[in-house]
Structure 1
Amino acid sequence: MNDWIDYYDSTHTIYASKLHRDLHFAGLARDIISYIPSPDAVVLDYSCGEALSAAKVAEACGMLILAEPAPGVRGRLIARFAPNTKIRVRALEELRNMPEGSIDLVVMNSVAQYMKPEELDVAFAVIRRLLRPNGRLVLGDILRPEVGMPRDVLALLMFASKHGFLRDALVGLVKTALSDYRELRTKVGLQRYSEKDMLTKLTKAGFNPVRAPKNIGHNRWRTTFVARLALGGS
């Protein structure tokens, strides 16, 4: 396994149980819906993953575009949501061919940590071109330099305790420690950004960013940023 796309395209152990997985995606859907500006908005979920609750998000907007780099995941998305006329599935490469200024909201959640800084810059350029003048980018689940894996473990255990899958979470942590995830995390690593660094990066990419009051998802030690196009952006 060479990179994170391969990992998420495989049969991985990132979720402790079906309940964990379902609660995770349901929570993400609620958070994403809170950012949708209107019922007719066009929403892009950039590197969406399995997006199991995408139908809920689609109910709250005019069109939902699920963009996913992993071919196996993308195939499952196409099969799962084929009957839903409000959902479209795209490869990341296809976003370059979409009309300029055609998206009201772009959500990139729990993605930046898996991208090299220069890859993230390229993604920001694509997103900037796609956003309408009054559109927004929501960049969620950013890892902070001063917060390590123990806080991620604690966040999971707190979430599991609250929702009744603590035992599964403990078993899942052991499985993850013995899986390709730990090897990849050591070999490839994860990108971390301080609030100042990410605000600077987004500003250089042509956005006016602010830190959101709370993170998307259950991990309160990670951060979310909301960015609009800077004056003169398009």
Structure 2
Amino acid sequence: MSTLDGTVVAITGASSGIGEATARLLAGRGAAVVLAARRTDRIDTIAQEIRDAGGHALSCPVDVTRAEDLHRLVGTTVDGFGRLDVLVSNAGIAPISQVADLDTDGWTAMIDVNLRGVLNGIAAALPVFREQGRGHLVTTVSTAGLKITPTMAVYAATKNAVRTLLEGLRQESTDGVLRTTAISPGYVRTNLADSMPDATIRERIRDNMRESALPPEAVARAIAFAVEQPDDVEIGELSIRPTAQG
């Protein structure tokens, strides 16, 4: 029996990349998964493929900037599988640029998705975790917050805000109910560069991804490692990057 048999996991940003890989891996290890994203056709297809392979999966359209969407995700999960054990907050965008470019629309979008989206998930999931007496928040942050580089100041700021948020929440949750995990990937082969409006920056990031990026499945395995720990073990933070990444 897998350690994930019977575990119920909701995943945002599940239509591609890390989110999709995580849904497929956890379902393959026995978890019931609920895939959430804005691209309804993609999450419907992935959920059906998981079911066709013998797994348990549902899909739920979600825009993480909308608090009501996260409440609907949690409700769909509890209605469908009876509980929610883990919320993987993976949705994120990176319209990066130099601060002096004053891309205030990009700043707002990153704050809304990368930070507010995580807060919306916490607000929806935490009451369920408290009622159940257990729950786990796993959030995708970034090594961009560990090593600050030009063009990534605001993006890194949103990720570091989430890192700080999870640590504060962990310290407030000393009753053993809640576990928190911040997963910090380095370069991963995903569609993240698609959200970068500056063509020069976008191509530089894509070049880096082509040269040394990890497959999304590598990060999914790191998430699975954190989730599979017994309730009295918390993996607070885990960085995963290509060996060749500087």
TM-score, normalised to structure 1's length?
0.47
Relative contact order (C-alpha < 8 Å, sep 6+): which is higher?
1
TM-score, normalised to structure 2's length?
0.45
